[in-house]
Amino acid sequence: MTDIDVEAVEEIDDAAVPSGVDAPDYVLYGGKGGVGKTTMAAATGLASARDGTSTLIVSTDPAHSLSDTLETDIPGEPTQIREEIPLYAVEIDPEDAFGENPLGVEDSLGPLAELLGDDMADPFGAAMPGTDEAAAMRLLVRYLDDERFDRVVVDTAPTGHTLRLLELPDVMETMVGRLIAFRERMSGVMESVTGMFGDGDEQLEEGMGDLRELSRRIERLRAVLQDPEKTDFRVVMVPEELSVMESERLLTQLEEFGIPVGTIVVNRVMEDLTAVADIEADWFVSPNLDDCEFCQRRWEVQQKALQRSQDVFRGHDVKRVPLFADEVRGETLLRAVAACLE
């Protein structure tokens, strides 16, 4: 096997790297697994914090590759990971975050379970999305009002998990509404039999107060996710037919949820970095489309996929990120990706 001499990337001209990003307060990256969502989220977060914007990068992907991409250990609570810029990061551990209280409802739901029975008191039941989505939703609600952060960048789990996360407000709204309606129907009965239940009505009211607060949180999160002035859900894809098909389905489902998609990111395109970013790239190794038969065939596959993607691209801001010879990890290459997303 012939050794391939690839020059290491030591630094990139600082002037070519964006300082700050033109984006709403909340940026969510979603798409098929393995298309580079974590890379895009990390690059966006770094660029965002470079102009002094306090930025939090959140990973809801159980694979937890954000630590590897940023080359630093990221804990389960928001932590500043760069001393020179206000960049924070957190990786949500589904098992730790879920516990017995997935959406942060207080312990006063315990009396509700005793009075109504476990089946009635559980607002999730069989329809509840996975625990990782529930934990992510609870923490996203918390970060929404966290005054430490001016922008939150979310690296979502693969498409199926993301859609279940977005479905959670509808599931919760329905179940919370049913419980509140049940409480109102029962109020007269409870008043007439207070002696029989002792302080049960007071406990029930406490539990229902938590449910009403949960309902308000859900509505607030829904309003933010559906507001294009506050949220940009960015779909990441690679120029391959399966990824295009997945992106088409995701766009359709996001539209059904009323989630605005402002940007489509096409990752790993076989072209030169200078074609998509205003950056000096003497170190960048481009595919040899003149003499390499493998590169030529892959480029034909990509061109067909890009042609099919025209319906996906229509009405969106399309960003292209080239295929790098090196694995994209560490701040140097992430800066190059950020320049492509500018």
For the stretch 197-203, contacts whose Cβ atoms lie closer than 8 Å and that sit 24 or more positions apart, written own/partner, are 197/115, 200/111, 200/114, 200/115, 203/108, 203/111, 203/112, 203/114, 203/115
pLDDT of residue 193: 52
Phi and psi (nearest 5°) for 258? 75, 20
pLDDT of residue 43: 96
Structure tokens at 95: 């098992």
Does a structural domain hold residue 136? yes
Our count of domains for the chain comes to 1
Measure the CA–CA gap between 197 and 267, rounded to whole angstroms.
62
Structure tokens at 341: 């997303």
Measure the CA–CA gap between 212 and 14, rounded to whole angstroms.
49
Dihedral-angle region of residue 132 (phi above 0 means left; psi in -120 to 50 means alpha; beta otherwise): alpha
Does a structural domain hold residue 79? yes
Helix (H, G, I), strand (E, B) or coil at 285: coil
Stated pTM of the model = 0.79
pLDDT in tens, 296-311: 999 999 999 999 999 8
Does a structural domain hold residue 211? no
In this structure, is the dihedral angle defined by the CA atoms of residues 309, 312, 317 and 323, taken in order, positive or negative? negative
Does a structural domain hold residue 233? yes
Helix (H, G, I), strand (E, B) or coil at 258: coil
Name the DSSP letter for residue 272.
-
pLDDT of residue 256: 85
Report whether 42 contacts 71 (CB < 8 A). no
Show the domain range for 67.
18-108+124-160+226-341
Q: Pick from 124, 109, 129, 136: which is nearest to 30 by CA? A: 136
Q: How far is CA 248 from the centre of its chain?
A: 18
Alpha helices by DSSP H, the chain: 37-49, 66-70, 94-98, 109-116, 118-121, 131-144, 159-192, 194-197, 200-225, 241-257, 293-308, 310-313, 331-341
Measure the CA–CA gap between 340 and 191, rounded to whole angstroms.
64
Measure the CA–CA gap between 44 and 64, rounded to whole angstroms.
17
Report whether 331 contacts 81 (CB < 8 A). no
In this structure, is the dihedral angle defined by the CA atoms of residues 111, 190, 172 and 216, taken in order, positive or negative? negative
Measure the CA–CA gap between 36 and 73, rounded to whole angstroms.
19
Structure tokens at 301: 């596959």
Does a structural domain hold residue 324? yes
Helix 131-144 / helix 200-225 crossing angle, nearest 10 deg: 80
Dihedral-angle region of residue 117 (phi above 0 means left; psi in -120 to 50 means alpha; beta otherwise): left
pLDDT of residue 279: 81
Residue 74: which CATH number?
3.40.50.300
In this structure, is the dihedral angle defined by the CA atoms of residues 74, 79, 82 and 86, taken in order, positive or negative? positive
pLDDT of residue 95: 59
Does a structural domain hold residue 173? no
Q: How many CB atoms are closer than 10 A to CB 302?
A: 20
Spell out, as residue ranges, where the chain has pLDDT lower than 70. Answer: 1-18, 61-63, 93-138, 158-173, 175-176, 179-180, 183-208, 210-212, 214-215
Does a structural domain hold residue 36? yes
Does a structural domain hold residue 206? no
